[in-house]
Structure 1
Amino acid sequence: MRIGRPFLQLFVALAFCFIGMANNGFAANIATVDATGRAALSGHSEQKARRFALEDALYLAALQNGVRISGTLVSHNGVLLRDIITQNSDAKLVDFKILKENKSPTHYQVSIRAFFAESAAQTCANPRFEKALILRPSVSIGQKVHAHHAALGPELGKAITHYISQNYPGPLSSGGMMSFADFKKRQSPKKMLSYASLQSNQLEAVDAALLISTDVTLRSGSGGVHAMISLSAISARNLTEVFSSNLQILAPLSPKTPFRTLNLLDARSPVFDLTAVFGAVDQMIGQFNSASCAPLQAPLALAGENLIFPHGQNAGIKTGALAYITTGEHAWVLLEVSEVMTGQAMMRPINNFQNSESLAGQTVQLIEGTF
C-alpha cells in the first residue's frame, strides 16, 4: 500500500504538534468548545468589527471551557476608583477554526470552534522566584566512621547541592559557596575595615533573598554507614526557616567473610541511595513553585516618613499598583505604590489616611490581576 505525500506531511505535522504539547506541560486531554461572538458595525470598519467579533467569540469560548473569576473593587466615598478582575484557568487555548461568518445591517457575527488543552501542572503568567544562595554543605563525621568512608560525607553534600542548583527554577546568587556563618558576617552592618576583612572578602553583602542549607552527619552503625541529612530553606531577610526536611539514609557495607584477605580485597565503598533525598529537594522546589504564584505580601518598614515594601522591580511591581493591610486594626487600609526601585518600593496610604507611621510593621498584600 502506497502512502501519499500529503498524508505524510499531515502525519508529521500532527506528531510535532503533540510532542510540543508534551514538552510544554500539557496533557493529551483536548476540550472542544463552540462559541459565537458579535460586534457592532456602527462606527467601525468591517474588518475591525470582524476582529472584535472574533475576540468576543474566543472570550466566550474560554468562559464556556471553565475559568475562575475573582474581582476587587476599590472605592472612596462611593466613587469607584479601580476595578480589578482576575481570571484563572487550568487549560490553554491551543487552536481554533472559524465555522461561519454572518453580517447584518448592525452587527458582524463569527462562529468558531476552539480547542483547549488541559495543563498538567498549575502555573501562573508571571511566577516570582526569589534569588537563592546555595550554602556550602556542613559535614560532620562521627568518630566511629572508618577512615575509608569519611570521604562519603563531602561527596554526599556535593551531590545534593549540585542537584539543587540544577533544579532550582529561579535565579541563583553568584556569591559563591559560603557557610551560614560567612553569610551572617557579610550581612552584618558593623563590619570593620581591616586587613582580615579584605583578605576574606567580607565587605560586600550577598544579593540573595533565600538561603538553602544542607547539613550531613555520618555515623557508623548496624548495617553500614548512616547519613543524617537536614535540608532547609531560610529567608535572608529575617533568618527564619521557610522549609525544613530531616531524613536518614543508609549505605550498606559489603558482607564479611571468614577470610580477612578476601575482606581486604573486596573493600568496596558503600553507596547511598539518594532517591529519598532528591525527593525532599523536589518537595522543597514544589513549595517554591506554589509560593511563586501566590499573592505578594510582606511587612512594611519605616524609613523617615516613607513606608518601604521589600520588593521592587525585580518582583514585577509597578508604580500605581495597589495593596492593602491584611490583618489588625488597620486591616483593609489601602496603599498605592508611589515609587519603585530594584529591590524595594515606596508606598503611601490613600483615602485620606493620616497616621502613616502606624502602618510600619503591618503586613500588606498586593492586589494583582488583569485589568
Structure 2
Amino acid sequence: MILDLYARLEKRNWLQLAWAPLLAVLACICFVLGTTAGHAAGLRFTETTGRAVILDSAMEQEARMLALEDALYLAALEGGAKINGFSAVMSDTTLEDHFVVRPASRILDYNITNEVIDGQHYEVSIRAAIGHLPRGNCLHRRAVNATVFSPRVTVGKNVPAAVSPMAVDVMNNVAMTIRRHEGVNASLATDVALDPSRLSRINDNFDYAALTKGVVRVQRGDFAIVPEIILAGQRAGNALGRRDEVTMHLKLHVLAGQSYAPVDRFEATQVLTTGQRSVSRIFNVIKQPRRPALLDALNAPVAGLVNKMITDLQCRPLTATLSLTDGKLTVPVGSYHGMRQNALAVASGTDTPWQIMRVTGVDPMSSTLTPLNARRDPMSLVGRTVEFMEDVE
C-alpha cells in the first residue's frame, strides 16, 4: 500500500510538471490581455440617462439639474467605482453597515443628447468622455515632414589638419541619413542658411532675392532641422605617454515650421584618439590611426542620433491653433501632416476639465473640428491650442 501511495504521488508530481509550462503560457497571455485592456480603457465614450422627480412645476429647472447630475454620476461609475465602508455599533447593540461609493474615473467632457419630461420625471441623456487622457505613450507614428538646412561647422585650432575636413563629411552623412530614414519625408536645403529673423521681415512678393532665387520656407506643422558639429582638439595622458584627442559635439537643432521656434535639441559626443606621443617613435607611428578609421569613428553616432530624433518627432503629438472659418472650427493642419478623419483633439476646458473635439473634415492643408458638446459656442474656443490624440471609438 505504501509503495502504491508513493507511485501515485510520483505520478501526480509528473502531471504537475507537465501542466506547468501550459499554465505559465496561459498566465502570460492573461497578463498581456489585461495590460492591453487597461490601456484601451484610458479614454472612452459612454451614454447614460439620469432621472429626477419634478416636485412642482416651478421647480422644473431644479429637476433638470438633478437629472443631469444623476446622468453624470452614472457616467463616472461606468469607469469603475471605489467602495469604502465601515460598521458601527449603536447604543442598543445593533450593528449598522455604512458604504460610500465613489467613481474611480473622471468625466473629461460631455454632451446632452436628449431631454424629455416623462410624467412627473425629468430625464436627461448624455454622451460623456470618461477616463484619462492617453498621454506619455507613443500612440501612433505620425507623418513627419522636415527640411534640412545648411549645417553649422566649428573647428578648433588644435584639431589636426587631417581631421578638420572630416567635419563636412560628417555633416553630409547626417543629411543623407535623415533623407534615407523611412520615418520622415525630408527635403534638403543644405546650401541655405536658416535665418528666421530675415524670413519674418521679407515679403516674398516684393523681395528681389525671393523673386529671382526663391526662398525656402517651412510650413506650419513641419520641422526645420539645423545640424551642428563642433570639433575641439586636446592632449591627454601622463608623463609616461601622452596622446592627441579630438572631441566631436554633434547637435541636431529642431525648429517648428512657420514660427521657427525651438522645439528640441538632440546631442551626441564622440572622443577619438588621433595620435600617440610616447617615448618610442616607432610605437607612435604604429599606433597612428588611419583616415578611414577616424572618419568611421566620427560617423559612428550619426545613425543612432538621427533615429532618436525622428522617433521622438513621430511620437510628438500634433498641435494647432483653432480658428473660425465660415462658422466652423478649423486648424491649419491636414492630411499632408498625417491628419485622419475621426481623430480626437483636446483643448483645455472651462466648465469641464477638457474640451473634446473630433475631426469631421480633412483637406490637404486644413481640418474641420466639431466639439463633443454641440451646444458650446465655437467662438469660445477660437485661439486655443488643441492637441490631437489616437482615434477612440
**TM-score over 0.5 for the alignment?**
yes
Once the two structures are superposed, residues 141-194 of structure 1 have per-residue CA deviations (whole angstroms, 9 ceiling, x without a partner) of 23343443321110111122222333351322x454354526775676623435
Distance 1:65 1:245 in 2: 32
Count residues in correspondence. Answer: 272
Task: Give unmatched runs, 5+ long, in structure 2.
Answer: 1-23, 47-109, 115-123, 236-243
Corresponding position: 1:134 with 2:170: no
The match for 1:8 is none
Distance 2:314 2:389 in 1: 20
Distance 2:268 2:138 in 1: 29
The match for 1:14 is none
- The verdict on how the C-alpha distance between 1:137 and 1:205 changes in structure 2, with shifts beyond 3 A counting, is closer
Query: What is the Cα deviation at residue 236 of structure 1?
Result: 1.4
Corresponding position: 1:163 with 2:177: yes
5 Å matches for 1:73-92? 73=46, 75-76=111-112, 77=114, 78-80=124-126
Distance 1:131 1:336 in 2: 23
Q: Answer with 1 or 2: which has the greater Rg.
A: 2
The match for 1:317 is 340
Distance 1:221 1:65 in 2: 52
Task: Give unmatched runs, 5+ long, in structure 1.
Answer: 1-29, 34-59, 89-121
- Aligned counterpart for 2:255 among listed residues 201, 219, 234: 234
Query: What is the Cα deviation at residue 351 of structure 1?
Result: 2.6
TM-score relative to the length of structure 1: 0.57
Query: What is the Cα deviation at residue 367 of structure 1?
Result: 6.2
5 Å matches for 1:215-294? 215-222=228-235, 223-256=244-277, 268-269=290-291, 270-271=294-295, 272-291=297-316
Distance 2:390 2:161 in 1: 57
Once the two structures are superposed, residues 194-226 of structure 1 have per-residue CA deviations (whole angstroms, 9 ceiling, x without a partner) of 543234222x64457022221012222222232
Distance 1:368 1:72 in 2: 14
- Aligned counterpart for 1:307 among listed residues 323, 329, 343: 329
The secondary structure found in structure 1 opposite 2:179 is helix
- The verdict on how the C-alpha distance between 1:277 and 1:335 changes in structure 2, with shifts beyond 3 A counting, is closer
- The verdict on how the C-alpha distance between 1:331 and 1:184 changes in structure 2, with shifts beyond 3 A counting, is farther
Whether the 8 Å contact between 1:212 and 1:234 is mirrored in structure 2 is yes
- Aligned counterpart for 2:164 among listed residues 137, 147, 150: 150
Corresponding position: 1:351 with 2:374: yes
Distance 2:360 2:230 in 1: 49
- The verdict on how the C-alpha distance between 1:66 and 1:138 changes in structure 2, with shifts beyond 3 A counting, is closer
- Aligned counterpart for 2:37 among listed residues 58, 67, 74: 67
- The verdict on how the C-alpha distance between 1:370 and 1:197 changes in structure 2, with shifts beyond 3 A counting, is closer
- The verdict on how the C-alpha distance between 1:198 and 1:130 changes in structure 2, with shifts beyond 3 A counting, is same
- The verdict on how the C-alpha distance between 1:219 and 1:128 changes in structure 2, with shifts beyond 3 A counting, is same
Query: What is the Cα deviation at residue 132 of structure 1?
Result: 1.7
RMSD, matched Cα? 4.3
- The verdict on how the C-alpha distance between 1:230 and 1:330 changes in structure 2, with shifts beyond 3 A counting, is same
Distance 1:367 1:250 in 2: 41
Once the two structures are superposed, residues 311-345 of structure 1 have per-residue CA deviations (whole angstroms, 9 ceiling, x without a partner) of 22232432x66544235667433445454321211
